[in-house]
Amino acid sequence: MPDFTALAPDALLELIAERAGALPGYAVVAVDGADAAEPLRVASGVADVLRTRGRPAEVISLHDFVRPASVRLEYDRDSEFTYRTGWFDYAAVNREVVKSLRDSGRFLPALWNERTDRSARARIRDAAGSTVLFVAGPMLLGRGLDFDLTVFLRMSEGALRRRTDPEQAFTVDGLVEYQREHTERPDILVAWDHPDRPAVHAG
């Protein structure tokens, strides 16, 4: 088991910002975590730190790249397997965000509106030079996405069950299985059962 170092929450943001800020040119950073871990909040906090240091930063939520409900809910509305394997459009993230940023300096901030189940109708955006683009959401590792830096907010099964919205309880089994089966080691592994006192193992 890796050794972990306890950090204050602000110090964790500073650590991730330091690693992300050292990346050259356009860079894409994954902040992988269950919804209960609030990865979007963490990514936004790191982006704010980078901006104060003069480095452009943008944040994208994986929930803006869900598949249409007709696909997500085709077999079972509460299927952990579908949640794990068919809920999010990782191919679109790769095409419209990761590769697009590197190839053209442009990216699509959102593809599908999960609430209305319609196209997000978002316009492709031009990124400022040397932008660090954060992609935040669940189950990002092991998807063939060529991230420059990966952060994983790891939660135990007990913490996931305690902190997951009851309406989303069906996702917990999928999240646990994802943590069990994926073998890609993140660059920064964060023990996140207690967000007010995280611990970090940085590779």
Q: What CA–CA distance (Å, rounded) separates 50 from 55?
A: 5
> Distance between alpha carbon 202 and the CA centroid of its chain, in Å?
17
Over the stretch 167-184, which tens digit does the pLDDT of each residue have? 999 999 999 999 988 877
pTM, entire model: 0.94
Cα angle at 170 between 114 and 166, to 5 degrees? 85
In this predicted structure, what is the pLDDT of residue 2?
Answer: 66
The fourth-level CATH superfamily of domain 5-202 is P-loop containing nucleotide triphosphate hydrolases (3.40.50.300)
189 bridge partner residues? 152, 201
In this predicted structure, what is the pLDDT of residue 75?
Answer: 67
Q: How confident is the model at residue 81 (pLDDT cuts 50, 70, 90)?
A: confident
Over the stretch 40-54, which tens digit does the pLDDT of each residue have? 999 999 999 999 999
Query: Residues 99, 145: contact at Cβ < 8 Å?
Result: no
Q: What CA–CA distance (Å, rounded) separates 198 from 4?
A: 9
Over the stretch 97-121, which tens digit does the pLDDT of each residue have? 999 999 999 999 999 999 999 999 9
Annotated domain spans of the chain:
5-202
